[in-house]
Structure 1
Amino acid sequence: MKRRWLPKHVSAFRDRHGKARYRYRRTGFVTYYFKNEPGTEAFLAELRACNDGVSAPEIEAGANRAAVGTFDDLLSRYYRSPDFLDPGERTRVVYRGTLERWRARTRKGRRYGEIMVRELQPRHVEAMLAELLPHRTSANMLRKRLSALMKFAMRIGMAGTNPVIVTRPFKISGGGFHSWTEEEIAAYERRHAVGTVARLAFDLMIWTGQRGGDARKMGPASIRDTRLELTQEKTKVFVSLPIMPGLAESILATPTVGAIFVVTEFGKQFSVKGFGNKFRHWCDEAGLPNCSAHGLRKAAARRFAEAGCSNQEIKAWTGHTTDSEVARYTAAADQRTLSDTAADKLLANLAERLAKDSANTLKINGNK
């Protein structure tokens, strides 16, 4: 029996030019044709997108018969557009899940996907968002996705206005993911010593300020001339960072298996969800139930803010593109430390001004 070397659901064939090509075929799902060769990182990214139902979504009964002008019609176009395909695969999974759950909901016996796009009004949007209460974060996520969808509809001529933008998001109490305190950071370091995989995963995030989804992909190939370089999976932003001493010590002390620093017990690369679950387990072992991988990214940004770094300097590390994003991540910066820094700057400025005024006074008196 011929040994199968391709991943499950992947098969090879030759096109009309005799060139070897590869496709993803799974019963009940759309067929996907790969753009990259098996064994490459790009191919694996495509395969993950197929398995997650992004590039090879499930075939829905009657999907090809969507009435023209409905949200079913609009979504089928949107999923093939750069607006949806440009973000990273994990982001696409989240966005699609939000929209699919929305269009499957019904009101007065009518599915939202069957509604005509031009019929949508602000009062309809507000009613749809209110259905998700008390889950305000979910409602705000849906509002963002509907707004992006309507912008796309306007661009392709399926809508004349965007009724979502005149609605208001719900106010969210709290700051999202908990930002690690220095005490929590120390507790994790005490539980997981340098040289363990748990500590290396931690150090890759706290010393770089990167997301867990990017930390899980880092390996020896990411290091170039004593710098750690990567293109962020979510935003496609390229960052080049100096390797801090604490991270260098952790990398050198931890055995590396293959091309990835942090791997599973079977020597395989973690999936996004698998890495998050494993790090959740490591946090629990350290007695930190409120801490998470994403909260560690916030803690890294907080440290930069408390050190007096500018927004531009922080963005150079985290890969954020706007000051508002940085402000959201550095909200947990120690207020006392920052106010002391501001006081030092103010006193230094006043002293400089006083010195200049005194010099001018002496100069004037000397000329009399």
Structure 2
Amino acid sequence: MTTRHGKVRWRLRRSGKKDVMLPGEPHTAEFDEAYQNAVLGRPAPVVQMPGSASPRSLKAAYRLLKKTDEWLALDDKSSTRYQQTIERILSMPAGGKMMLGDGPVEDLKRSHVKSILSAFRDTPHMERIVLICLRKLIMVAIDEEWIEVDPTYKMTRNPQTDGHKAWPLEIMAKYEARWEVGTRQRTAYALALWLGNRVSDITRLRWDHQTTKHIAADGEIHTVDGFEFVQFKGRKRGKKLFLPMTPMLDRELAPLSRDTETVLVSSRGGAYTDGSLSTRMADWCRDAGIEPGYTMHGLRKALGVKLAEADASTRQLMEILGHKNIAYAELYSREASQTRLAVKAMEKVTKIEEARSSRKFRS
């Protein structure tokens, strides 16, 4: 037969049997083998096409994972990171010409998982992400009933890190001395510090988010101005927050025009992207003579420290910073309590030692 593209293809037709397409040209090894298989009723050999996935393999689990609600709800940054990591895992050698992604999930043992993780031991954060990605693939396999046991059960990889540095008072003073109130550099700083917002919320904060609430407290009705918005978390719906307008933030925003859509406006007159704002903050800190390492998220952390030092409860910390995990909020409280208790304890020791020294000199 001749296709519509002018290509000649050969087909074996037999009465009462299904037609069989024959590859190649007559009298070639490929053609003759396919012809003999068809005549004798032998199944044609299965050819693994590039990019295809073997049944119940890690690669097949990955294909199913990308169709799940969990995956579709990821923001672009997370999905890209997980995709790159999973594809790197699947392409790892597994003996011969086989790659890890070609093997059945049921053959993946705990020892294999440890071996995979060991390849990333020099970068603890990457090792943790690899474990997260493997677990996602395994959960798909369990959900599909390909396996019953999770080989990553109770495995943890939690690298020790101090995370983003909270801005101390001297660094804040340095930044404020360089950038005046009313500049975009100062506005970005003030929004991060006095609202405790993530970068993704700062770039999207609009003037129409500003509202007034009437709140009953201590037997009285209080009128409170602030911003009300839903946290941005990619495709997932974040938590709805109302954050009061403190006098500190009110002074910072007072010179700004209300004719723009977003509170923070770039030099081009539009909103910043999350990535560009983080990059610009690094530039602004450098221009202020501040050493690298102080970030927008560090200002959010600085507010957490201030709240904890003011004896804010764990619940209050969670509501202001938008944390769902109580462990994050408790971290601020513990650090502030440790500092406060240590100072008070050493003040007592100092007072005792000074009294002892004064008695010694008198004698």
Q: Same fold by TM-score, threshold 0.5 exceeded? A: yes
Partner of 2:316: 313
Q: 1:241 aligns with which of 240, 243, 254?
A: 243
Unaligned runs of 5+ in 1: 1-60, 344-368
Partner of 1:228: 227
Correspondence list, 1:184-195, <5 A? 184-195=171-182
Shift of residue 335, structure 1, vs aligned partner: 3.1
Partner of 2:135: 147
Letter in 1 for 2:229: L
Partner of 2:20: none
Deviations 1:170-225 (A, max 9, x none): 5x333122222222222222211110101111111111111111111111022122
| Aligned counterparts of 1:182 and 1:158: Cα–Cα separation in 2 | 56
Partner of 1:68: 55
How many residues end up aligned between the 2 structures? 281
> Matched residue of 2:195: which SS?
coil
Correspondence list, 1:246-265, <5 A? 246-255=248-257, 258-265=260-267
Letter in 2 for 1:271: T
Runs of 4+ residues deviating >4 angstroms: 328-332, 338-343
Distance 1:223 1:159, change over 3 A: farther
Letter in 1 for 2:115: A
Q: 1:135 aligns with which of 123, 145, 148?
A: 123
**Percent of paired sites with the same residue:** 23
Distance 1:332 1:179, change over 3 A: farther
Q: 2:73 aligns with which of 86, 89, 106?
A: 86
Q: 1:110 aligns with which of 77, 95, 98?
A: 98
> Matched residue of 2:163: which SS?
coil
Distance 1:115 1:188, change over 3 A: farther
Partner of 1:183: 170
Shift of residue 327, structure 1, vs aligned partner: 3.5
Please tell me whether Structure 1 or Structure 2 has the larger radius of gyration of its CA atoms: 2
| Aligned counterparts of 2:239 and 2:165: Cα–Cα separation in 1 | 24
Letter in 2 for 1:162: D
Shift of residue 316, structure 1, vs aligned partner: 0.2
1:267 and 2:269 matched: yes
Q: 1:214 aligns with which of 183, 201, 215?
A: 201
Partner of 1:363: none
Deviations 1:20-53 (A, max 9, x none): xxxxxxxxxxxxxxxxxxxxxxxxxxxxxxxxxx
Distance 1:251 1:319, change over 3 A: same
> Matched residue of 2:251: which SS?
helix
Unaligned runs of 5+ in 2: 1-48, 213-224, 347-363
> Matched residue of 1:237: which SS?
strand
Deviations 1:142-162 (A, max 9, x none): 212322332233223233122
| Aligned counterparts of 2:344 and 2:210: Cα–Cα separation in 1 | 34
Partner of 1:294: 297
Deviations 1:273-321 (A, max 9, x none): 1121111111222222120112222212111111111111100011111
Shift of residue 338, structure 1, vs aligned partner: 5.1
Letter in 1 for 2:56: G
